[in-house]
Amino acid sequence: MKTHKVLFVLMAMLVVFALAAGCAAPAATTTDTSSATTAPATGSDAAAKPYIPVISKGFQHQFWQAVKAGSEQAAADLNVDITFEGPETEAMVDKQYEMLQAAIAKNPAAICFAAVDSKAMVPLLEEAKTKGIPIIGFDSGVDSDIPLATAATDNIAAAALAADKMAELIGDSGKVAVLVHDQTSRTGIDRRDGFLNRMAEAHPNVEIVNVDYGAGDQLKSTDLAKAVIQANPDLKGYFGANEGSIIGVLNAVKELGKEGQIVVIGYDSGQQQIDAINSGAEAGAITQNPVGIGYKCVEAAVKAINGETLDKVIDTGFFWYDKTNIDSDQIKPLLYQ
């Protein structure tokens, strides 16, 4: 009899515990609340930093690494979180589209964006605008008014300066070829047109014999430049409109034994260009301010998040450099290796 009583008591206690467990509050669980409308957290999470994805045109050239360094410095100074990414090459429109699409889906505080194709990304920018995500352009703008500001070089003016330098160095007459990274990005279009239009307006005796597009790829650019040089044995000058393009030109000139015979003018920086200018193989180049571009785009994004008014264009400057000033206090900080 006692045994039955003990069993009864034990069963009753188990029922009580089960009922208590069923009525108690559930254990703490984690729910994805990555929406822009999520209520502010409390405690230590209240100080969560705004997130700003930075999507560049590429990742392979040292130029983009310098832009990345500038954006990371701005993030540290302004207490925001960033990510920096770009497609493997500046010809990968679809890949960059996917990157921008994924960034928008995360509902960030703002986005910094340099378009590979100035038209293809407009539908996604319209989506971002609908979701209230500020867009800041950098380096290469888009054919849209959606970006609140664009931190970039005045590429038309910079390429025009390269044209003036080229004309001066070849005696204001003769044949010149141009190698550009693309004809879809704003930088490609503006550098090409800035150079060509300046030549047509101010240096009518300079003949542009060829304009090619090498996608910023050094090997492809080398092959294109070699073909042009071989087809024009009296070529006097060659302009390369970005780092990959000008390295292709330098490779072609060297492989064909034309160093010292063709005036080579470049754009951007990098160790190979610096070495070529110091050796005399390259006459000079236009340098941008890539660290400044990276810094200014993140800075503008923070201002947009805070509701501040922005200038539509943030001019980050450009300079001509050659053997005479490459080590100067003004130029040296703008060059990357």
The yes-or-no verdict on residue 254 having pLDDT over 70 is yes
Least confident of 39-43, 119-123, 221-225: 39-43
- Residue 28 vs residue 260, higher pLDDT: 260
Interval 57-79: pLDDT, tens: 988 788 999 999 999 999 999 99
160 and 268 in a single domain? The answer is yes
Average pLDDT estimate for 14-22: 36
Write down the pLDDT at residue 23.
36
Whether 105 and 196 map to the same domain: the answer is no
Confidence band of 337 (pLDDT split at 50, 70, 90): confident
Residue 17 lies in a domain: no
pTM: 0.79
For the chain, how many structural domains are there in total? Answer: 2
- With respect to residue 238, please indicate whether it lies within any of the assigned structural domains: yes
Same domain, 224 and 263: yes
Q: Does residue 236 have a pLDDT over 90?
A: yes
259 and 164 together in one domain: yes
Domain that holds residue 81: 51-153+290-317
pLDDT of residue 129: 97
Instruction: Supply φ then ψ for residue 234, to 5 degrees.
Output: -100, 20
Same domain, 217 and 166: yes
Average pLDDT on 188-202 reads: 98
Residue 305 in domain: yes
Same domain for 149 and 75: yes
Whether 40 is covered by a domain: the verdict is: no
Q: What's the pLDDT at 178?
A: 98
**Does residue 8 have a pLDDT over 70?**
no
Residue 2 covered by a domain: no
Residue 72 lies in a domain: yes
CA 231 from centroid of its chain's CA atoms: 34
Q: Please indicate, yes or no, whether residues 196 and 258 belong to a single structural domain of this protein.
A: yes
Question: How far apart, in Å, are the Cα atoms of 80 and each of 50, 125, 234, 302, 334?
Answer: 5, 22, 54, 8, 25
Query: Tens digits of per-residue pLDDT, 91-137?
Result: 899 999 999 999 999 999 999 999 999 999 999 999 999 999 999 99
Indicate if the alpha-carbon torsion angle 168, 169, 171, 172 is positive or negative.
negative
Instruction: Assign residue 202 the CATH number of its domain.
Output: 3.40.50.2300
> If you average pLDDT over residues 39-52, what whole number do you get?
58
pLDDT, averaged across the chain: 88
**304 and 224 within one domain:** no
The verdict on residue 16 lying in a domain is no
